[in-house]
Amino acid sequence: MIARSVHHVSLTVRDVEVSRGFYEGLLGLEPIERPDFGLPGVWYQAGTAQVHLIQAPEGVDGGKPPGSLTPLANHLAFEIDDYSKVLDQLHARGIEVQETRPEIGQMWIRDPDGHIIELTKPRSG
């Protein structure tokens, strides 16, 4: 078996409509068709991979986001075009940037459920 690529990442969220505002409004992802699984959710295409958001039923605790930002923390990374421009846009929208590493082109924010989102400039090679 050879895993050829990442197909999707699935995150549990508390309120899919609040999450849509973040993933569509801030990150600019476009929703794609999603089968009916009996739970609210939304799927996005992000390059060659997908991001699946599933709303946990009331009283059900889904996957918890990590508490602290460390190299060991589970996170989702998106490639961005212009590091400085994106950083300025985040500040203008009042989005708290958890940490920046301009020397390597990385920054981290959190989605409405606390999931760590890395924004990174393209890597060569």
At 35-91, the pLDDT tens digits run 998 999 999 999 999 999 999 888 776 666 667 777 667 889 999 999 999 999 999
64-125 CATH: 3.10.180.10
Task: Give the integer Cα–Cα distance in Å for 95 and 109.
Answer: 8
CATH fold of 1-63 reads 2,3-Dihydroxybiphenyl 1,2-Dioxygenase; domain 1 (3.10.180)
Q: Of 118, 119, 120, 114, whose CA–CA distance to 19 is shortest? A: 114
- For the entire predicted model, the pTM comes to 0.85
